[in-house]
Amino acid sequence: MTSSSQVIVVGTGVVGSVIAEHCLDAGLEVLMIEAGPRVSRAQIVENYRNLPLGAKPDATASYPPADWAPHPFHGLEHLESTGPNKYDPTYIRYAGGSTWHWAGTSWRLTPEDMQLRSRYGVGRDWAFDYETLDPYYNMTERKLGICGPADPLDQWPRRDRSMPYPMPHLPLSQGERKFTEVMQTKLGLRNVPVAQARNSGMPYDDRPACCANNNCVPVCPVGAKYDAATSLNRLEAKGATILDNSVVYRVETGEGNRIVAVHYYDRDKTSHRVTGEHFVIACNGVETPRLMLMSADDRNPNGIANSSDQVGRNMMDHPQQGYTFTTTEPYWLGAGPVVNSGIMETSQGDFRRDHAAVYFRLNNFARNRDIAKRAMASGKVGRALDEEIRRLTATSLNVVAAFEMLPDPNNRLTLSAQKDWLGLPRPSVYWDVGDYVRRSSVEYSNPLAQRIAEAVGATDFKPASPEKFSTSKHIMGGTIMGNDAATSVVDRHSRTHDHANLYLPGGGAMASTACGNSTITMTAMAFMAAEALVSEAKGA
Amino acid sequence: MLASAMPSFTFAATQDIESRFMGASQLLVNHDLSPAVGARIAAFAQASYPNLGDMLDRITETAATRGASRVEDFFDAIPEGELRDFAFWVISAWYTGSSSGDRDATLFTYEEALLYQPTIDMVPIPTFGFSAPNAWGNDLYPLTDLPRF
Ligand SMILES: Cc1cc2nc3c(=O)[nH]c(=O)nc-3n(C[C@H](O)[C@H](O)[C@H](O)COP(=O)(O)OP(=O)(O)OC[C@H]3O[C@@H](n4cnc5c(N)ncnc54)[C@H](O)[C@@H]3O)c2cc1C
Ligand code: SF4
């Protein structure tokens, strides 16, 4: 069993994989330690197909967790939620991580999104500006294969790009085009093609072109959508060692508070110790802070990297509210990828002083499974039933409002008294989306959603309740980035203020959420961390 | 003797219920129905409805009394209550491919569930390829053009 490596990367999700590859390309020795099993795509596709209709909408149902690597899963207690709102993120502890079931939507932040404090007097500013992040976004778009529009008016953010997208955007279906037209003519809102990690019209990165089969969540059957599992064989070919079914449960410090080793349990609950020179913990925004807190020692009694007491605090997400309505004319959503267009311009403005911004995404999931219950309950039979299924599928639209959220130290991940299968404390999160978001729902988002519904001729719009938000599963904030070691956990390179050779890249480092899905930003930050690690390893 | 006779009796009984189930199904759902899927639904129904055979016969007789082969022509004659509910359940099983809408329901079929057929010209069955790369921008077909299935 490998017991030492120059670079240790814990977690084989997109963040860990990108850093590992950057280190390998720079000639460093890399060991990756992964809690979950390594599975085949065919197995996951079969799991999905064999689910009864009622379980199919659950993005995680095709991924039953291993006993030793539990993740949020129907019927299994893993993540505890306390507080006024329900914190209910899903993520997957399998080799390849949660991009297995992500939608691949890849919105960049805008310069304003990174300066909430100085521009609007709320939240935090980032430790650097958009221009600093821009080259790393370019690297991310190339690494993951992100397609996007060439028309500057359709690009997000709306500013000159320093590099074009590596692939053209995926076509909008006729229904999406009709929606786009209606938004423009009736509301003056621009519904733009989503930048997405999906192969558009061509193979890319040894993966095939998207063929519209509309199953990106929970799994792309052909690998046209990027997920980190698609990169693991390549990492091994470049020299990485990957240990799967190995759950890291302790990070060990030594002289000068440097990290000297990590400890993991294998599936037989046998403990192993692995030493290294540089450590990257990329277990996602829940499991990384959990591991830091679990690893408390005499030098670091509040947990690793936690002299600021900010580890586990400032947990953030994009709280969301969905609107499903029926139109009179057919829109026929469902051909193509599951998310393909959205309205981003509602996410910017001076109003952010008072309430959260919002982004409206037009979901493009095939509607059949969602309307089935309604159609069957109609009491119709024969041709009338077939016509009802056709009508409801063609005319039901699902628009989701995704809100930004402010960092609040009370939204906090702690260790539960409950233990998991390995005897490790389960994560517990106190969750309150906050008045900033609730105000936006009432004053901004609901009225906008109503106008959208009326513009498309909806007959049954219902406003969302300001008390009810679902979780977007974009896990952010728990190891927040900043220049000040007293108020943040990691520096601009995602390196901990407390431990010179420990990096905690990923969503936890994000200082603001904006409204767009955040993995592209996590990955761009991972590239920044990887560059810093490599130059440190090379003694630069 | 009895021991060796039992399996063939059971086999014959199973075959009988399957064909009666398919017969009633064909009256309730006037589309091409897969016997393999029917056998799975019938097996589930047998375990759930002690009077399955009787209910199947009553549905078939109701249609025969009207001289009907299309569901529209006799469904209203199925008495409300247990038999009507069962008839809806059979239709729902063929359309949804599942024994109920619950997440722990039994799956009879995914891709052969009829739910996808009325829209098969416009909407993919998720996980199955739908078009050539970037070629799914087809016209908005009218609601009235029901595909044949
Ligand atoms: C249904 C769904 C849809 C989504 N859609 C989008 C989208 O469209 N766009 C977008 O930007 N984001 C989306 N996301 C979010 C996206 O999936 C995550 O942001 C992203 O996967 C995070 O990457 P990561 O590498 O930080 O973490 P993960 O992908 O979660 O990877 C972490 C890895 O660490 C491993 N690990 C965890 N604990 C340990 C341990 N103790 N020891 C060893 N290994 C460990 C895990 O097994 C896993 O492999 C979606 C998420 C979900 C659930
Ligand atoms: S539409 Fe189909 S082929 Fe394209 S990314 Fe989604 S699942 Fe993969």
Q: Is A212 in the pocket of ligand 2 (CB under 6 A)?
A: yes
Query: Tokens 């998991």 appear where?
Result: A420
Number of residues assigned to chain B: 149
Q: How far apart are CA B30 and CA A416, in angstroms?
A: 56
| Beta carbons of B75 and A376 less than 8 Å apart | no
Could you report the per-residue pLDDT of B31-86, keeping only the tens digit for each? 999 999 999 999 999 999 999 999 999 999 999 999 999 999 999 999 999 999 99
Residue B14 has pLDDT above 90, yes or no: no
Q: How far apart are CA A278 and CA A275, in angstroms?
A: 9
Shortest CA distance from B128: residue in chain A? A213
Residue A298 has pLDDT above 50, yes or no: yes
Indicate the SS3 state at residue A128.
coil
Q: Is residue A390 part of a domain?
A: yes
Could you report the per-residue pLDDT of A188-205, keeping only the tens digit for each? 999 999 999 999 999 999
Note if the pTM is more than 0.80: yes
Please name which ligand lies nearest the alpha carbon of B126: 2
> Which residue type is seen at A460?
D
Band of the pLDDT at B141, cuts 50, 70, 90? confident
Q: Is A34 in the pocket of ligand 1 (CB under 6 A)?
A: yes
Could you report the per-residue pLDDT of A40-74, keeping only the tens digit for each? 999 999 999 999 999 999 999 999 999 999 999 99
> Which residue type is seen at A87?
Y
What is the token pair recorded at A300?
A: 């670091």
Considering the domain architecture, whether residues A72 and A120 belong to the same structural domain is answered as yes
User: How many angstroms separate the alpha carbon of residue A505 from the centre of ligand 1?
Assistant: 12
| Beta carbons of B119 and A214 less than 8 Å apart | no
Q: Which residues of A are catalytic?
A: 474
Cβ atoms A176, A365 nearer than 8 A: no
User: How many angstroms separate the alpha carbon of residue A208 from the centre of ligand 2?
Assistant: 10
Could you report the per-residue pLDDT of B1-13, keeping only the tens digit for each? 344 445 455 666 7
Band of the pLDDT at A247, cuts 50, 70, 90? very high
Number of residues assigned to chain A: 540
User: Rounded mean pLDDT of chain A?
Assistant: 97
Considering the domain architecture, whether residues A310 and A333 belong to the same structural domain is answered as no
Shortest CA distance from B138: residue in chain A? A174
Band of the pLDDT at A540, cuts 50, 70, 90? low
Strand partners, A321: A401
Average pLDDT, integer, range A448-460: 97
Considering the domain architecture, whether residues A59 and A127 belong to the same structural domain is answered as yes
A119: left (phi over 0), alpha (psi -120 to 50) or beta: alpha
Band of the pLDDT at B142, cuts 50, 70, 90? confident
Burial class from Cβ neighbours inside 10 Å (0-12, 13-18, 19+) for residue B3 reads exposed
For A127-133, which contacts have Cβ atoms below 8 Å and span 24 or more sequence positions? A127/A481, A127/A482, A127/A483, A127/A488, A127/A491, A127/A492, A127/A511, A128/A492, A130/A157, A132/A492, A133/A109, A133/A521, A133/A524, A133/A525, A133/A528
Considering the domain architecture, whether residues A194 and A211 belong to the same structural domain is answered as yes
Considering the domain architecture, whether residues A312 and A165 belong to the same structural domain is answered as no
| Beta carbons of A335 and B122 less than 8 Å apart | yes
Could you report the per-residue pLDDT of A153-191, keeping only the tens digit for each? 999 999 999 999 999 999 999 999 999 999 999 999 999
* Chains A–B, number of C-beta pairs less than 8 Å apart: 172
Report residue B93: phi and psi, to 5°. -60, -40
Considering the domain architecture, whether residues A337 and A380 belong to the same structural domain is answered as yes
**B60 CA to chain A: closest CA distance, Å?**
16
Indicate the SS3 state at residue A89.
coil
Considering the domain architecture, whether residues A337 and A386 belong to the same structural domain is answered as yes
Q: How far apart are CA A406 and CA A382, in angstroms?
A: 52
Nearest CB partner across the interface for A381, out of B72, B104, B127: B72
Q: What is the pLDDT of residue B139?
A: 78
Considering the domain architecture, whether residues A269 and A302 belong to the same structural domain is answered as yes
Give the containing element (helix H, strand E) for A47.
helix A41-49
Cβ atoms B87, B49 nearer than 8 A: no
Considering the domain architecture, whether residues A444 and A364 belong to the same structural domain is answered as yes
Name every chain A residue with its beta carbon within 8 A of the beta carbon of B126: 213-215, 366
Shortest CA distance from B134: residue in chain A? A201
Average pLDDT, integer, range A421-425: 98
From A331, A99, A338, select the one nearest A213 (Cα to Cα).
A338
Query: Tokens 């029917």 appear where?
Result: B38
Q: Is residue A411 part of a domain?
A: no
Name residues 45-104 of chain B within 8 A of A (Cβ): 70-72, 75, 88, 91-92, 95-104
CATH number, domain containing residue A341: 3.30.410
Query: What proportion of chain A, given as a percentage, has pLDDT over 90?
Result: 98
Sign (positive or negative) of CA dihedral A119, A122, A128, A133: negative
**A393 CA to chain B: closest CA distance, Å?**
8
Considering the domain architecture, whether residues A271 and A388 belong to the same structural domain is answered as no
Burial class from Cβ neighbours inside 10 Å (0-12, 13-18, 19+) for residue A183 reads buried
Q: What are the extents of the domains in chain B?
A: 10-119
Q: How far apart are CA A73 and CA B109, in angstroms?
A: 24
From A507, A497, A506, A495, select the one nearest A535 (Cα to Cα).
A495
Q: What is the pLDDT of residue B140?
A: 81
Report DSSP state, residue A105: B
| Beta carbons of A335 and B72 less than 8 Å apart | no
Average pLDDT, integer, range A308-322: 98
Q: What is the pLDDT of residue B10?
A: 67
Cβ atoms A244, A37 nearer than 8 A: yes
Q: Is A429 in the pocket of ligand 1 (CB under 6 A)?
A: no
What is the token pair recorded at B94?
A: 């063929």
Nearest CB partner across the interface for B134, out of A170, A382, A384: A170
Q: What is the pLDDT of residue A95?
A: 98
Residue nearest atom 35 in ligand 1 by C-alpha distance: A11
Considering the domain architecture, whether residues A26 and A125 belong to the same structural domain is answered as yes
Q: Look up the domain containing A163 and give its range.
A: 151-219+320-404+434-468
Name every chain A residue with its beta carbon within 8 A of the beta carbon of B115: 53, 368-369, 372, 375, 389
What is the token pair recorded at A499?
A: 């431990």
Q: Is A505 in the pocket of ligand 1 (CB under 6 A)?
A: no
Q: How far apart are CA A324 and CA A365, in angstroms?
A: 12
Give the containing element (helix H, strand E) for A135.
helix A130-144
Residue A268 has pLDDT above 50, yes or no: yes
Cβ atoms A248, A262 nearer than 8 A: yes
Please name which ligand lies nearest the alpha carbon of A196: 1
Shortest CA distance from A167: residue in chain B? B134
Nearest CB partner across the interface for A335, out of B91, B95, B130: B130
Name every chain A residue with its beta carbon within 8 A of the beta carbon of B100: 52, 54
CATH number, domain containing residue A503: 3.50.50.60
Domain boundary, last residue among A468, A491, A511: A468
Q: What is the pLDDT of residue A469?
A: 98
| Beta carbons of A172 and B129 less than 8 Å apart | no
Q: How far is CA B3 from the centre of its chain?
A: 34
Q: What is the pLDDT of residue B1?
A: 39
Number of folded domains in chain A? 2
Band of the pLDDT at A269, cuts 50, 70, 90? very high
Average pLDDT, integer, range A225-242: 98
| Beta carbons of B127 and A391 less than 8 Å apart | no
Considering the domain architecture, whether residues A365 and A481 belong to the same structural domain is answered as no
Cβ atoms A469, A85 nearer than 8 A: yes
Q: Is A243 in the pocket of ligand 1 (CB under 6 A)?
A: no
